[in-house]
Amino acid sequence: MSKLHELFERQGQSPWLDNLKREWLISGEIQQWIDAGVRGITSNPSIFQKAIETSEAYTDQLAQLVTNGVSVEDSYWELVLHDINSALGLLQPLFDESKGTDGFVSLEVSPLLARDTQATEAQARSLWDRVNQPNLLVKIPATQEGLPAITQMISEGRSINVTLIFSLERYAGVMGSYIAGLEAALANGIEDLSHISSVGSFFISRVDTEVDSRLRANGSSEALELLGTAAVTQGQLAYTAFLETFSGTRWERLAERGARVQRPLWASTSTKNPDLKDTLYVDSLIGPNSVNTLPDATLRAFDDHGTVKRTVDANPDEAQRRWERLGNLVDLDDVARVLETEGVQAFEKSFVELLQVLTVRCDQLRK
């Protein structure tokens, strides 16, 4: 049994692949990852920027789109949806076998809409309807403007991956938005809630990058002692919040109608600091009813030398004390604000740059 299989079979955590490109769909590499234990796929604008800019595998389809007079932005969506649909087909057997627990592929709305609730709702609805597959998760960012869109989409019975979560406060809002959406779905006449799924994507490594830079600037012995601890600590506290939120009377009423918990998904789990173990953000956040989406290099590293052991809730009291110590040294609310802004901007940049590249390619194909 591979460690990826073991992670799910023994600990109840689903490993997903945080990458998607057409060469892998053509070569069979995606299927190989599924056979090795991968239980879902996530994508984002940066992933598709790399995939499309560095590959000739999209040229024939793009040429046909140009011939048909399709606009550059619409061509982007056609290229992306082709890959998403192919991946959905490969994961459909797992989706069926797991009774809708895994086998998902995530597709993100345009990052240019991150601060526009109504436009996010409209595009999420459009993408969901165009794909029309039950194992699609439409990704909506956890901006303040994204929260009502999450509630609205869930209320309509659409499955959502909430992305770019950087703080415990915002995570509480995300879980609340999901539960409110389920309650609205019931009110809208959706009697079986089991067909609605969601994950809350909590970003991990970027937290350490930002907090550690501030700890180094502080320079005290306590600050230096806490280097490399913020991301895992916050993830562990998020898991505690998850357990508390999806229990009690309010949740049980929904669970009786088939509602599924909104699993925490650990994202950005490759270590950016070479001084840290390359599987730190996998080894330290293992627990049931959770997901970890990993770049292929981190998947390989974990399968080679990771540790399969329940760790995410091993010592919540210690995690709380450590978080309080960090909060005395660093403005953690400001960290979250900075990371959300940077996260949205990074995806916007990838999206805009890819459209610029596609514009040039389309012009070349017209000649």
pLDDT at 11: 98
User: Is the confidence at residue 253, as pLDDT, over 90?
Assistant: yes
- Type of residue numbered 1: M
User: Is the confidence at residue 159, as pLDDT, over 90?
Assistant: yes
User: 286: helix, coil or strand?
Assistant: coil
What CATH number has the domain bearing residue 41? Answer: 3.20.20.70
pLDDT at 272: 87
pLDDT at 149: 99
DSSP summary character for residue 193 = G
The confidence band for 273, taking pLDDT boundaries of 50, 70 and 90, is confident
pLDDT at 90: 99
Q: Which domain holds residue 309?
A: 3-366
User: 162: helix, coil or strand?
Assistant: strand
The confidence band for 74, taking pLDDT boundaries of 50, 70 and 90, is very high
- Residues taking part in catalysis: 139
Task: Report the number of distinct structural domains present in the chain.
Answer: 1
How far is residue 222's CA from residue 266's CA, in Å, rounded to a whole number? Answer: 27
Give the tens place of pLDDT for each residue, 77-122: 999 999 999 999 999 999 999 999 999 999 999 999 999 999 999 9
The confidence band for 1, taking pLDDT boundaries of 50, 70 and 90, is confident
How far is residue 101's CA from residue 16's CA, in Å, rounded to a whole number? Answer: 12
216 within 8 A of 208, measured Cβ to Cβ? no
Task: Look over the chain and give the mean of its residue pLDDT values, rounded to a whole number.
Answer: 97
40 within 8 A of 291, measured Cβ to Cβ? yes
